[in-house]
Structure 1
Amino acid sequence: MKPTILAWEGHLAQNRRRSVHTVRAYVATAHRLVEFLSGHWGAAVTGERLTALTAAELRAFLAARRADGLGNASAARELSAVRAFLDFAVGAGTTPRLTGPRVKKGVPRPISPDEAVALAEDVADSAAEPWVAARDWAVLMLLYGAGLRIGEALALTGAILPLGATLSVTGKRQKTRIVPLLPQVRAGIEHYAALCPWPIARDTPLFRGAKGGVLDAALIRRAVQAARVRLGLGDRTTPHALRHSFATHLLGRGADLRALQELLGHASLSSTQIYTAVDAAHLMDVYRNAHPRA
C-alpha cells in the first residue's frame, strides 16, 4: 500500500490543500491502519482486500487505538482520517460507515483586552534583544488585533511592506482573506521591521529567528507559556487564545457573525457560531457576579 499512501499524501497536499500538520497526521493514520490490518489478517494489505473491509474490522482498529489512550476527540479525528483514506484508496461510498464518538465542543476561553496587552508586553519585556522584543510584540498583536492564526502570521513575507490599512492573509487551504490593521498593530510591525537585523525582501519571511531563518512557532508558544505563569493567567492562555479573544470581543461589541466569519477565514459559519456560546457565557458570568440574587 506504500504507493497508494504516497499518492494520497500528494492528493491531500496538492488537490485538497491540507496543511502540513494535517497531511502528516492523516498519512500516519493510514500507515497505522495498514499495519493493523496486516496483523489482523495475517497477510499483506492490498486494494482488493480493502474493498472487502467490514465495519467490525474498522471497529477493531478503533478499539486498538482507544486502548492506546485516545480520547473521544482524537478517536473522532482518527476515524475521519481513515474514512478519507479508504475513500481515496478504494472509492467513495464503498467503505463501511461507522458512527464516531460524540465530541463535546469546547468553548474557547478568551482573555480580557488588558490581559492580552499585558501578555504581549511581558513576552516583549523578557526578550533578550530589542529587535526580538519588537518581533514578539508584533506577532502577538497580529493574533489579537487581526485575528490571525500563528501559522498565518509567521507565513507573512516582506511583500506586505509597506503596510496599508488592510492586510492580505493566506489561510487554510490557501484561501486568501483581507483583514483590517489597527494603527497599533501596524506600528508594531513597522517598529520590528526597522529593528530587524536581517534584510526583509519581498520573497523572504517577515518574522525571523535568531539566526535569520523562519521564526519557529514553538518559540512564541514557549514565550507565552512563561509569561502566563508570571502573570498568573490560566493554562488555556495560548497564542491561539488571542485569536479567540479577538473574535469574542468583536462579537461582544456587536460584530455581525458573517463578517466575523470572513475576518477569521472560516470556511463554514458553524465554525464561527461557537463564539456566540462564548459571548453568552460571558454574559452569564457578568449576571452572576452583578445580580444580588445570583
Structure 2
Amino acid sequence: MVTLKKNNFTDYTISIIEPWIKYLETIRGFGTHTLNAYKRDVLDFLKFCNNEKHNFLAPNKQVIREYLFNLSERKLSRPTVARRISSLKNFFRFLLKDKTISTLDVSIFKSPKLKRNFPKSIDSNLVTKALFSLIDEKNHAWINLRDRAVMLLLYGAGLRISEALSLKKKEAPRGDWLRVLGKGNKYRDIPLLPIICDGVKDYLDLCPFNVQEDGPLFLGKRGGVLSPRIIQRRVENLRYELGLPSHTTPHALRHAFATHLLSGGADLRAIQQLLGHSSLSTTQRYTDVNETELLSLHKAIHPRS
C-alpha cells in the first residue's frame, strides 16, 4: 500500500488524497510506480496552491493557467506536464464521484499537445547478432548467459524489463507457456519458444549462486537482485560495439517482438494480449509503424515513385 507522509500539509488535505490513492490501488489495480507518480503530481499542485493562496479543492481556469506557467518556468518536459494534468483530472473526478466536492468543471484541465511518438523496432537480424555476440563476450560466462536469457524474454516473449527481472526461480520458463504478472497486477499467459527455455536453463546451470525457488530468477554479480540498469548498460555497450541503431534499448526489444509478429500476420488483439496492454489503442501504434515501413518500401522500389 502506498502511504502519504504528512510533511507540511494538513491532516485534512492528506485524508482527502489517501482514499483516492487507495481506490487506484485496490479497485483500478495501478502499480506502485504509477501510484507514486500520481501522488507526487497532486501534492505538487497542492504545494503550488498553498504558496499562491489558492483554494486547493476549488481550482478554476485561471489557477490551472498559473500552474501551467509555473511548470513551464521550472522547465518540465511536455510529457511530464501532460501527466501532471492527467493526474489532477483523475483526482478531481474521483472527488466528484466520491461527493467530496459538489461541482467542478473538469474541462479546465487541458494538457499540452504532444508529438505522437511511434515505437521504434529493431531488425530481427540485428537482434540475432546481438544475442549471439553475448556468447563470445569477455565476461564471466554465466553473466553473458544471464543477460542473453533476459534479452530472449524481452524479444522472444515481449516482456517488459521489470516483468522479466521480477520472475522468481519457480516461475522460470520451462514449458510451452509463461505466466507473467504485469501492470495493474494483471496476469497474462505467453507462449514460449524453446530457445527461451534453453537460454534460461543454460544460465541457471552455470550460475555460481544457489538460486532459491522463492528468490529472484536473475541474480547480480554478487548474488543480489539484478538491477534493470545492468541490462540497460549491457544493451548500450552492444549498441556501440555492434553499430546497432541509436534507439536500441531493452524496451525496443519488446517493440521488435510486437512489430515482427504484426509483420508476420499476427492478429492485433492477440498482440494486445501478449503485450498486456489494457487498451487496444496502445497496441494499434504498431500498425502505424508497419504503415510507415510499407510507405518507405513502396517509395524505394515502386517504378512510378
Counterparts of residues 80-159 of structure 1 (less than 5 Å): 80-88=86-94, 91=97, 94-97=103-106, 98-123=109-134, 125-126=136-137, 128-159=139-170
Gaps of 5+ in 2: 1-12
The 1:213/1:286 distance shift into structure 2, 3 A limit, reads same
Paired letter, 2:29: R
What SS does structure 1 have at the residue aligned with 2:119? Answer: coil
3-state DSSP of counterpart to 1:201: coil
CA contact (8 A) 2:173 2:200 kept: no
Please, which of 60, 65, 75 is the counterpart of residue 54 of structure 1?
A: 60
Deviation at 1:170, TM superposition (A): 0.9
- In 2 relative to 1, CA 96–293 (structure 1 residues): closer, same or farther, beyond 3 Å? same
TM-score by length of 1: 0.90
Partner of 2:32: 20
Candidates 66, 71, 94, aligned match of 2:72: 66
Instruction: Note the alpha carbon deviations across 1:108-156, whole angstroms, 9 max, x for none.
Output: 1111111112223345544621111111000001000011111111111
Q: What is the rounded CA distance, in whole Å, between the counterparts of 1:231 and 1:3 in structure 2? A: 54
Aligned length: 288
Match of 1:29 in 2: 41
Give the SS at the match of 2:189.
strand
CA deviation vs aligned residue, 1:31-86 (integer Å, no higher than 9, x gap) = 211111011117xxxxxx43322121122112211222233322211101122233
Q: State the distance in 2 between where 1:127 and 1:75 align.
A: 44
Give SS of 1:167's match: strand
Gaps in structure 1 of 5+ consecutive residues: 43-48
Once residues 213 and 172 of structure 2 are traced to their aligned partners in structure 1, the CA distance between those partners, rounded to angstroms, is 8
Structure 1 SS opposite 2:117: coil
Tell me the alpha carbon deviations over residues 90-118 of structure 1, each in whole angstroms, 9 at most, x when there is no partner: 65684432232222321111111111122
- 1:165 is the counterpart of 2:171: no
Percentage of identical aligned residues: 39
What's the C-alpha RMSD, in Å, of the aligned pairs? 2.1
Tell me which residue corresponds to 1:290: 301
Aligned to 2:292: 281
* Alignment partner, residue 46 of structure 1: none
The worse-fitting range, judged by mean Cα deviation, of 68-77 and 11-20 is 11-20
Residues 125, 32 of structure 1: CA spacing in aligned structure 2 closer, same or farther, 3 A cutoff?
A: farther
SS of 2:180's equivalent in the other structure is strand
Deviations 1:270-293 (A, max 9, x none): 111111111111112222232344
CA distances 1:145-185 after superposition (whole Å, capped 9, x unpaired): 01111111111111224710111111111111111111111
Inter-CA distance 119–4: structure 2 relative to 1 (3 Å threshold): farther
**1:190 matched to 2:196:** no
Counterparts of 1:78 and 1:183, CA distance in 2: 43
- Looking at structure 2, the residues matched to 158 and 251 of structure 1 have their Cα atoms a distance apart, in angstroms, of 31
Aligned match of 2:282: 271
Residue 38 of structure 1 corresponds to 50
Aligned-partner Cα distance in 1 for 2:202–2:104: 55
Give 3-state SS (helix, strand or coil) of 1:28's partner.
helix
**1:167, 1:179 within 8 Å by CA — same for their partners in 2?**
yes
- Provide the rounded CA distance (Å) in 1 between the counterparts of 2:192 and 2:274: 11
Please, which of 212, 237, 253 is the counterpart of residue 226 of structure 1? 237
User: Which one is further off, 216-225 or 95-104?
Assistant: 95-104
Structure 1 residue corresponding to 2:227, chosen from 205, 216, 223: 216
